[in-house]
Amino acid sequence: MNRNYQMRLYMREHLPLYLFVSVLLVMGIVFGALMVNALSPGQKEEMARHVNSFLQIANQGSEFGGTNTLWDSFSLHLKWIGLIWILGLSVVGLPLIFVLDFLKGVLVGFSVGYLVGQLSWKGMLLAFVSIAPQNLIIIPALVLCSVGACAFSIYMVRNRFMQKRGALYPAFMKYTTTTIGMAVLLFLVALFEAYLSPSVIGWVAPMVTGQAG
C-alpha cells in the first residue's frame, strides 16, 4: 500500500514531465509520418524493394528471427535506454533526452506512415502486426526512463544548490532501479520480436503480397 501511494505521489509530482515527453513522442510520430511525403521517387522505390524482399522471405516460410534477432533487438533497446540513463546523470544531457524521445517518435511515425502510404490497408495491417505490438511497450518504457532521467537531473541541480548531498544516493538508486526494470521489460519485448513476431508476420505476409491461398 505504501509503495503504491509513493508511486502515485511520484507520478503526480512529475505529471508535467510525463505530459511533455508524451507530447514530444506524438509530435515525433506525426513529423515522421509527414516525412514520407518528402521522399523522392527513387528513395520510395528503393524502400519498396527492401519491404518486398522482406515480405517474400516471410511469405516463403524462410526462417528469420531467432537468437541473433533476440540479441540484436535487445542490444538496440539497451543502448537506447542506457544512453538516456547516462544523459540523466548530467544536467547538460537533459535536452538530448528530449531529442531522443522525439527521434523515437519520428522512427515509428515514418515506418507506419510509409507502409500505410505505399500499401494502403495492407500496409496498415502489416504495421499493426510488425510495429504496433512491441511499441505499445517500448514507448511507455521510454517515457518512464526519460521522466526518471529528467527528474533525477533536476533533483541533482536542486541537491547541489540546497547542499543536501547525503540525499543523493537514494534518488540515484531509485533512478537506476527504474532503468534496470525497464531493461528487463525490453528484454521480454526482444523475445517477442525474435520468436513470436516472425510467425505473425509470416501469417500476414500472403495477405499483403496478394498470395493468400
Reported as a pLDDT band with limits 50, 70 and 90, residue 164 is low
Distance CA 176, CA 79 (A): 15
Give residue-wise pLDDT tens across range 6-39.
Answer: 677 777 888 899 999 999 999 999 999 999 988 8
69, burial (CB in 10 Å: exposed 0-12, middle 13-18, buried 19+): middle
Q: Read off the pLDDT of each residue in 62-74 and give the average, rounded to a whole number.
A: 80
Range name among 39-48, 92-101, 153-162, 191-200 with the lowest pLDDT average: 153-162
> How far is it, in rounded angstroms, from Cα 177 to Cα 145?
10
Rounded-to-integer distance, Cα 196 and Cα 189, Å = 10
Are 158 and 168 in contact by the 8 Å Cβ rule? The answer is: no
Which of 147, 163, 203 has the alpha carbon at shortest distance from 10?
147
Give the chain's radius of gyration (CA, Å).
20
Unique residue bearing C-alpha cell 493468400: 212
**pLDDT tens-digit readout, 92-108:** 888 999 999 999 999 99
What are the contacts of 49-56 at 24+ separation with CB within 8 A?
51/115, 51/118, 52/209, 55/126, 55/205, 55/208, 55/209, 56/209
Cβ neighbours for 134, distance < 8 A, ≥ 6 positions apart: 189, 192, 193, 197
DSSP category for residue 194:
I
